[in-house]
Amino acid sequence: MQTELSKRLGVEHAIFGFTPFPAVVAAISRAGGFGVLGAVRYTVPDDLKRDLDWIEANVDGMPYGLDVVMPAKKVEGVTEADVEAMIPEGHRQYVRDTLAKYEVPELAEGEVSGWRITGWMEQVARNQLDVAFDYPIKLLANALGSPPVDVVECAHERGVLVAALAGSARHARKHAEAGIDIVVAQGYEAGGHTGEIASMVLTPEVVDAVDPLPVLAAGGIGSGQQVAAALSLGAQGVWLGSIWLTVTEAEMHSRGVTRKLLAAGSGDTVRSRALTGKPARQLRTEWTDAWDDPSGPGTLPMPLQGLLVAEALSRIQKYEVEPLLGTPVGQIVGRMNSERSVQEVFDDLTRGFEHAVDRINRIAGRGDQS
């Protein structure tokens, strides 16, 4: 599964694996793919440094990258406290009432809630980059589109390629104009923040829009047959995220979440603003239903919603409150029905890819010539 882009980056397979787990990043790169560490949860720079040190020690010299969530436009002088002050009391009360309805325990006195979804605030992302650029990362990806111009220039000065996610051909063209090296065409089926256009339609549209820039296909991909389909649509690789959530190397803090992922079908996700204020595909739960209920107050815009629900989600996850327990995940969750190692996932992807290519060759009358 080699393409011009995978050869350029020195990887065996054109499979880019996005994950919040350092052990999965290293395993993806060791298996011949390209591991990309999601940085949004690293609000403390020393924590990111610790995990990048670990990846460096365990990646066997193979390339890897970093994914940040960074707005293209800077907002001066806005602190997290300023943003917190914008949250209406009625929304805070709705959170309290919903947690009380499901008898979710409070955190222990003095206990700090888990990671807060503030990684899209520019200064947080810049602090992450101050750390990351001291490491030999080969790719910087941004989930909110094109990073600021100075960040793109700084990456290029260090020989780091820059990728940006796009949900439409229009967005993709803007990325190309901003000097981005790789466009990730993320379809409607994808987990997390995603747009309205399905991968089968989006991928060739983006390929045509930014030619000759390389495009990675994302959304609904979890088999070798789907990888072959993406490459046949013009992509130079695939960007996989959800499929790694149930691998044995994943440091998922909640076994309840893992159980729900393994049991879920492809129809058990929903695009909801409950997590961050922007539409994000995730497991459908009674928590997402509560925020999508017309009788409720509705969600707040990003980043207010993420700050509003951060502590609540930490409590739900810590105490494994089953009806409310969820996670961002794509529609490919229907294929994630067993725990496998990263290497086993790669073995399945490569076998499926070979079978798909052989099938197309037979259809085209190009059977085995040996």
Say what percent of the chain tops pLDDT 70. Answer: 94
Asked whether the beta carbons of 317 and 253 are under 8 A apart, the reply is yes
- Comparison of pLDDT for 255 and 100, the residue scoring more: 100
Asked whether residue 213 carries a pLDDT value surpassing 60, the answer given is yes
Cα of 272 vs its chain's centroid, Å: 16
Per-residue pLDDT band at 303 (split at 50, 70, 90): confident
Per-residue pLDDT band at 119 (split at 50, 70, 90): very low
What pairing do the DSSP bridges indicate for beta strands 161-166 and 139-142? Answer: parallel
Say what percent of the chain tops pLDDT 90. Answer: 79
Least confident of 49-63, 152-166, 226-240, 292-306: 292-306
Least confident of 69-78, 160-169, 308-317: 69-78
Average pLDDT over residues 67-80: 69
Average pLDDT over residues 262-273: 97
Tell me, what's the pLDDT at 66? 97
Asked whether residue 358 carries a pLDDT value surpassing 50, the answer given is yes
Average pLDDT over residues 7-24: 97
Residue 323: is the preceding peptide bond cis (ω within 30°)?
A: no
Asked whether residue 141 carries a pLDDT value surpassing 80, the answer given is yes
Q: What is the pLDDT of residues 80-100, one digit of tens each?
A: 677 788 999 999 999 999 999
Tell me, what's the pLDDT at 306? 87
Classify residue 31 as exposed, middle or buried by CB count within 10 Å of its CB (0-12, 13-18, 19+): buried
DSSP states of 277-303: SS-EEEE--HHHHHHH-TTS--PPPTT
Rg (CA), the chain: 20
Tell me, what's the pLDDT at 113? 63
Crossing angle of the two packed helices 149-157 and 122-132, in degrees rounded to 10? 0
Asked whether residue 120 carries a pLDDT value surpassing 80, the answer given is no
Least confident of 31-35, 36-40, 225-229: 36-40
Cα of 80 vs its chain's centroid, Å: 23
Calculate ∠ Cα 309-187-193, nearest 5°.
15
Least confident of 190-194, 231-235, 342-346: 190-194
CA distance 51 to 87: 33
Average pLDDT over residues 8-15: 97
Average pLDDT over residues 286-295: 96
Per-residue pLDDT band at 370 (split at 50, 70, 90): very low
Question: What's the chain's average pLDDT?
Answer: 92
Q: Which long-range contacts (CB under 8 A, 24 or more apart) does 41-46 make?
A: 41/115, 41/119, 42/115, 42/119, 42/128, 43/115, 43/116, 43/118, 43/119, 43/124, 45/127, 45/128, 45/130, 45/131
